[in-house]
Amino acid sequence: MNCMLGIESSCDETAAAIVDGDLFVRANVVASQYDLHAEYGGVVPEIASRAHLERILPVVRAALIEAGVGIEQISAVAVGIRPGLIGSLLVGSNAAKALAWSRDLPFYAVDHVAAHLFAGLLHTDMQARAGAFPALGLVVSGGHTSLFRIASPVACELIGRTIDDAVGEAMDKAANMLGLPHPGGPNLERCAQFGDAGALRFTRPQLPNPLDFSLSGLKTKLLYEIRGVPQGRGAHATFTRSAHDLTDSRRADLAASFQRGAIAQVIDRLTRAAELHAPRALFVGGGVVSNMTLRRELSAWSLEREIDLIVPEPRFCVDNAAMIAGHAVLRRALGDMGDDLSTPAEPVSRLARGVLPKRVQ
């Protein structure tokens, strides 16, 4: 049996999964740390790495039990090695290296951004997707908002990225400004359900690279709408109102408007990229793709252009280890024998950094 064990610990989810050579997910275990970070309003790196340390082995054991396989049936080990919080990455990567070394198994050091990008292939027929290339790729997560031109699952070229916040990060901050609890993105979506998305209009930023994103203007507009225009600047700024002054219906209107503004920018960049690159398919991934409004817009957009939309189930959009194992399975199928155990964990993605254009494997 061909079983890839995947491990993911880049931020605040400790996860293990087992994916077979046909991209069928036999186990997917995720231990979230929402409760540990809620009182701080965001992820505390120290707390995250300690929790990973406590949970990593129980989570791997739970994945083996869920898949009904023993450790001796695992044929390779994959881990999300970059990007992420370095203390968190070290826990998962050292556990994966130790397992691979002790059982003399191939080791795959997977880029988390690439794993998000191809998570839509899990549970699908890989051969049937052979005609998907050239494709466009979009990752919208808490750490990244990037557009790629894709020639194959191991050849992606970065063609656009956020110049400030990622969409997920901006949604989290917007939720915080509105007085909504952590985790911000899902709570913003919940609150937006009851609001009027036309209540506040956001313009789309014009940037030197028309495929780049910028969310800071949206955040500032929302902040001023909630708290009023500040008197003074920087640390000395004072506001006349606070989120406590919002009525529930105004809060919902602002949440819905912000969500619409952020999604409109994503769709706008996709449209420009499709005009430039004439893709056959669009791969999307990242935590924000679990947002139902964004999913609906992506479906309508791709249907209208007859572009094949390859979108993961919501549970494979947010951080998980099945996508890590899945990308390693794709690499293996293309003849990649794996990485050296000395491959270091790194805080930055090799796929989504640097000066454009950038071609990376």
* Least distance CB 273 / ligand KG4 (angstroms): 20
Contact criterion met (CB below 8 Å) for 140 and 318? no
| Residue 142 near ligand KG4 by CB under 6 A | yes
**CA-CA-CA-CA dihedral for 69, 72, 76, 80, to nearest 10:** 60
* Least distance CB 64 / ligand KG4 (angstroms): 24
Nearest CA to 92 out of 81, 77, 103, 107 is that of 81
The DSSP secondary-structure symbol of 278 reads: -
| Residue 172 near ligand KG4 by CB under 6 A | yes
Q: Which residue has the tokens 């931020």?
A: 11
| Residue 105 near ligand KG4 by CB under 6 A | no
* Least distance CB 88 / ligand KG4 (angstroms): 11
Of 8, 12, 225, 319, the one binding Zn ion by CB under 5 A: 319
CA distance linking residue 254 with residue 33, whole number of Å:
28
* Least distance CB 298 / ligand KG4 (angstroms): 13
Of 14, 28, 33, 141, the one binding Zn ion by CB under 5 A: 141
* Least distance CB 242 / Zn ion (angstroms): 32
**Chain centroid to CA 222:** 24
* Least distance CB 285 / Zn ion (angstroms): 8
| Residue 339 near Zn ion by CB under 5 A | no
CA distance linking residue 64 with residue 73, whole number of Å:
10
**What residues between 208 and 267 interact with ligand KG4 by CB under 6 A?**
none
Q: Which stretch binds ligand KG4 (CB under 6 A): 59-67, 88-96, 178-186, 247-255?
A: 178-186
CA distance linking residue 241 with residue 259, whole number of Å:
22
- Cis amide linkage into residue 45, ω under 30° from 0: no
| Residue 165 near ligand KG4 by CB under 6 A | no
Of 168, 279, 326, 338, the one binding ligand KG4 by CB under 6 A: 168
Structure tokens at 326: 């899945």
Of 6, 137, 183, 326, the one binding ligand KG4 by CB under 6 A: 183
Nearest CA to 17 out of 77, 102, 101, 70 is that of 77
Q: Which residue has the tokens 């001796």?
A: 72
Q: Could you list the residues that contact Zn ion (CB under 5 A)?
A: 141, 319
